[in-house]
Structure 1
């Protein structure tokens, strides 16, 4: 997800302040907002300073659980914000960088001694040492409290530890996460090695054995073939997060019901072990279900997830009912125990959707996870809960096999998973994690030259006040699950780990404001979990980004994202040698049409047809031609392209250009390799375009099945160009 943008013009006077209508000028309200990380003012895309209106500040503060609708409430909560840290002996969570001597405060009765120690994750304890720092005591609730400063010893290893403090008859404990100072690259990418791989929308990559939608067996097969036939090092796929348990399914993989668990839509029924032991009658039921969707694999029309999942679910219910061996049942039980309450709650949500229908049909009490009704339904719907737990287990098994196939075939990285920005406002995470998600707001983007009213993606964001109180557990568990069978992870809109645009319900997107997050904690935990998984992390950092953020991410070992069409210097394409090393560099991305269509200007025609252009179409066409010609000129200047080149030759030259960069990773869109011209997603549309439903095809729109993919001369030629440039092999 990105907003293509350019910096504000240098000639624009940044001292100009753009005023908004206000209900009053309450300095205390603005002070309270800033104390909670809510921006009371910000610089907008056009270079003007915006004073956020008070109604917005009140709504955003209340979304964080901070009532601020009256002056008295503002005064009370401002005092509480200042006193709250002193009321706790220890902070709820301390996130430290390894070897950085991270300090943290300890609050006790003024003058009293205190002991602080660390209980290590792997066993044993170590003392924390006090730092010589003078802090004035503070009277809170009638008690004079002092603040001592302690440091995390440099020799405490990476991991999740527990801080303990004791003073007199008072004790306290807190979560301590020690994170890598710099995320190490996977072993195969150290010492200057580079890697390239394919980028694919898995649902679009179908084989003759698929059920109308590309699945996890197709994932493993695609990875194996890409490595063995073409030398690919990784395969980056769309988010595989879970959608609804029953049709209709939300098509967008970037609007899931949860980011922690996997969509069973991607399960290959025949590869669940118990399928092989079905009775003849039950096997017939599975085959009949497949027969209803068999022809979808070669259908050039929009992918029908609802039909595919309805058929697949009926078959999976048959397989689930078959007895499992003692060892298989033990493996399922172990999986269930490891995933814990998070899995139980997700499975219960799925069972509730099966029972009641969409959440709009639920009784009010069902929305409260702790209500008597939900407790009763947890027992009543136990069989349904078991089924949805089982689905996650078999999906996890098939994900593991896909990654193993990738590595066994020679990939140095393997499968790279994509993490969406957020979740569906009526999904499982919104229901089960209500305490750590902000209420009454959605995530979006402020106005810019492409979206003059701003954007509201309707996704509930993390609550930055509550996350540290729970030790970042939901965030940590989500990362662990996604990384478990991954060689890498791509973080969509990684700027969201620094700040997000909150849009209060009922307000237009331009009336939102930014809310800051503890990026040191969020990025640190991301690096810790990736280090443990041996995975590379790629941050999607497109658009207007403050330079310090890219520097910070690079310092932590997080790769950025570079798209050829967006890399400019003084109005000309950036030369390859000027690209970042710590980056995934590609010609295109899933929010743009495939390169053949982009070269032909079809993206402009499509936006005009859909009514998305805000400028004169001829002006947009002229600008697109100018952009294209500048890039083609750069290719010719470097000897990569001759005159009167064919479309295929231009596509190969573009990929040779990005392969000539020093970037650690180079990506090739699978759609570019087949000659596909249809975009997977057209930003700014919903029903007007078949977003996320376009099957992989060739230049004419005819489906290209995985079975035939690597027999394509066009694909083999393009991949040979990239492999030769990255691995220094002759094409």
Structure 2
């Protein structure tokens, strides 16, 4: 691909100044030049006029002058140990700077006598002042106050700036005695893991039980799919990676029976709850598909009954404290839920949702906030219940011996019409979706149908959306996996209406974003794992390791000298796994299901024969490596091969080893097939065994295959 005729040097310069890549290296090693329509569309989404050459030149000048027009930038993120603050002051003016620390104390900053650089902006000379920040500033969120006054009696100017002081490096993950600083854990799709007490899908109570079972067998963490909130009206999006919000939990996972007030219901109300549950209990043993819509309709009916029950003064005080702590973001999310219900009802009555409803600041939304206050209160209450049940699951995990406990998963983004995109609209790029360029496994590229954050808007909001999201997830967890952590560095932006291959990368301030992540993780005492698969510049992995953020490796993706990478060559700061949720479980992968499924769905760009031949060669090379190490007898069956692969991986120096629950019970079906939507039941496959029978948590402690794999991994990890 070459630049089109209207891709001028000025347009390229403007794009690069806004972090937009005008060219990039593809997965296949080709240099790709980004066409002008893509650059212009992305600039437009950033609020930059690039429609004409004159507009481009004016935008370049504005980009250069913009920082000089502000006394202080809106925010600054530094590492502990010092850094520089840049202020811009008018000639013949004095300035005073001080830092208000989180603990309420103040520190005055020393202003250098010399101002080495200046610039004429809007006809006025502006001086750039570089102010060294003290090396002993504590970790935390602080505020810089600036005061500028004129010696000739002119008006005084003031400004404030958020200052985040972040840790240079996070501590390594904890482990049990005798494990030489290493730990293993279970990985599961929570919705798929049910018990006899579930309501048709896995829930927060099942989460605690599964953690206790795994902890009892030596596991130190339980990695689960994102539990972000989705829609509250059918059709509920099945993908946990396409949520309505990433800050709040999905009430779909609440166990109604575990709410304290449920125990004190009157007989008729208790019967109403039981009746609601009876509609979905048969789904607990259905091995074919999870029906989120049916589950939510039953749970919502029961939850409304429990919500209406009186609460004790202590419980009411706890709810009020939670509501006050979470503030306006919580009530905005609850309002979005109430509006979704309201407009679903009007749509059923033949009325369209008015355009004004998509604007959170509109008079219509203000009116409905009052009219729907009871439903808003219901959804606020649900988040309080979610937090209680998540906290209980983490306690059960650590009480079972887990050193880390629950490991949450953070999705890349949110739904275009979800709560976050609605309430934080100014922080998202309009008319843009994110995804991934073509690669070997997704040869047509990927469109994840999610709007990206605007880099400048994040900085202008002092990274509060990121901070609050991380803080909420880690309040009752020991670790956080960041899906596609490369999005903290650059994201693949796709202008609406174009295919994934027509996008390009947009850079983010990774030093600031990783700093905010590290600060919140440090405060929570949590481990952070970044999913750094795919197209990753080598320096990024080095950077993450230097900050104490673990990377990710999948056995089937690691190759060296034409064969499987020896486990001894894996990185130390790593979560190593045999498979991933975007591939079939190991039993299915060994059988070539990843080729057969993509062939059935028309996702291959090569012949089925070529793909199958490559898969067989890959499998045979891996089995040969296992035999060379004496891990596999010549007549090994499927279960023995799965265990040998995990024992093989345990020979790596990697700090964390993940074991997929599907591998521990013999499941063969993939949870998610990238590149599909309705063609495959993505994120709707219940946990089943090799025979296709549903596997319940109640039976897991006695499951021979589960026990055997857990014991094999635990033993291998403890063996010198």
Taking structure 1 as the reference length, the TM-score comes to: 0.95
Q: How does 1:486-565 map to 2 (within 5 A)?
A: 486-565=477-556
Distance in 2 separating the partners of 1:637 and 1:41: 44
1:121 maps to 102
CA distance 1:324–1:622, shift in 2 (3 Å): same
Q: CA deviation at 1:129?
A: 3.6
Q: Is the 8 A contact 2:443 2:604 kept in 1?
A: no
Distance in 2 separating the partners of 1:192 and 1:639: 23
1:103 maps to 84
Pick from 37, 60, 63 the counterpart of residue 81 of structure 1: 63
2:160 maps to 173
2:362 is the counterpart of 1:338: no
Pick from 19, 23, 35 the counterpart of residue 2 of structure 2: 19
Distance in 2 separating the partners of 1:256 and 1:427: 7
Distance in 2 separating the partners of 1:390 and 1:23: 58
2:193 maps to 205
Q: CA deviation at 1:48?
A: 2.6
CA distance 1:613–1:25, shift in 2 (3 Å): closer
1:92-124: per-residue Cα shift (whole Å, max 9, x none)?
11000011x211211111243322111101120
2:153 maps to none
Q: CA deviation at 1:127?
A: 2.5
Q: CA deviation at 1:70?
A: 2.1
SS at match of 2:456: coil
1:28 maps to 10
Q: Is the 8 A contact 2:174 2:181 kept in 1?
A: no
Q: Is the 8 A contact 2:115 2:127 kept in 1?
A: no
Structure 1: runs of 5+ lacking an equivalent: 1-17
CA distance 1:444–1:359, shift in 2 (3 Å): farther
2:567 maps to 576
2:344 maps to 357
Pick from 152, 155, 160 the counterpart of residue 141 of structure 2: 160
2:363 is the counterpart of 1:368: no
Q: CA deviation at 1:600?
A: 1.5
Q: CA deviation at 1:603?
A: 2.0
Q: Is the 8 A contact 1:96 1:152 kept in 2?
A: no
Q: Is the 8 A contact 1:23 1:53 kept in 2?
A: no
Distance in 2 separating the partners of 1:253 and 1:197: 21
CA distance 1:705–1:450, shift in 2 (3 Å): closer
Q: CA deviation at 1:42?
A: 1.8
Distance in 1 separating the partners of 2:696 and 2:666: 13
2:43 is the counterpart of 1:56: no
Structure 2: runs of 5+ lacking an equivalent: 150-155
Pick from 258, 270, 281 the counterpart of residue 283 of structure 1: 270
Distance in 2 separating the partners of 1:582 and 1:468: 29
1:150 maps to 131
Q: How does 1:311-710 map to 2 (within 5 A)?
A: 311-357=298-344, 361-710=352-701
Distance in 2 separating the partners of 1:697 and 1:450: 26
CA distance 1:674–1:187, shift in 2 (3 Å): closer
SS at match of 2:94: coil
Distance in 1 separating the partners of 2:600 and 2:204: 36
SS at match of 1:657: helix
1:6 maps to none
1:183 maps to 170
Distance in 2 separating the partners of 1:643 and 1:703: 31
Which deviates the most, 232-241 or 150-159? 150-159
CA distance 1:542–1:132, shift in 2 (3 Å): farther
| Shift >6 Å, 4+ stretches | none
CA distance 1:693–1:727, shift in 2 (3 Å): same
CA distance 1:132–1:632, shift in 2 (3 Å): farther
Q: CA deviation at 1:51?
A: 2.2
2:273 is the counterpart of 1:297: no
Which deviates the most, 128-137 or 198-207? 128-137
Q: CA deviation at 1:522?
A: 0.6
CA distance 1:189–1:343, shift in 2 (3 Å): farther
CA distance 1:49–1:214, shift in 2 (3 Å): same
Distance in 1 separating the partners of 2:251 and 2:268: 24
Pick from 24, 27, 47 the counterpart of residue 42 of structure 1: 24
SS at match of 2:624: helix
SS at match of 2:457: coil
Which deviates the most, 451-460 or 286-295? 451-460
1:9 maps to none
Distance in 2 separating the partners of 1:25 and 1:430: 31
1:541-583: per-residue Cα shift (whole Å, max 9, x none)?
1113111000000000000001111111111111111111100
Q: Is the 8 A contact 1:303 1:693 kept in 2?
A: yes
1:171-221: per-residue Cα shift (whole Å, max 9, x none)?
111000011100123555899511100000000000001000100000001
Q: CA deviation at 1:359?
A: 11
Q: Is the 8 A contact 2:251 2:386 kept in 1?
A: yes
Q: CA deviation at 1:370?
A: 1.0
RMSD: 1.6
Distance in 1 separating the partners of 2:360 and 2:607: 52
CA distance 1:720–1:359, shift in 2 (3 Å): farther
Distance in 2 separating the partners of 1:415 and 1:662: 23
Q: How many residues align?
A: 709
CA distance 1:576–1:375, shift in 2 (3 Å): same
Distance in 2 separating the partners of 1:613 and 1:50: 22
2:181 maps to 193
Distance in 1 separating the partners of 2:173 and 2:436: 34
Distance in 1 separating the partners of 2:7 and 2:396: 62
SS at match of 2:435: strand
CA distance 1:450–1:589, shift in 2 (3 Å): closer
1:8 maps to none
Taking structure 2 as the reference length, the TM-score comes to: 0.96
Distance in 2 separating the partners of 1:111 and 1:41: 44
CA distance 1:359–1:565, shift in 2 (3 Å): farther
Distance in 1 separating the partners of 2:266 and 2:663: 44
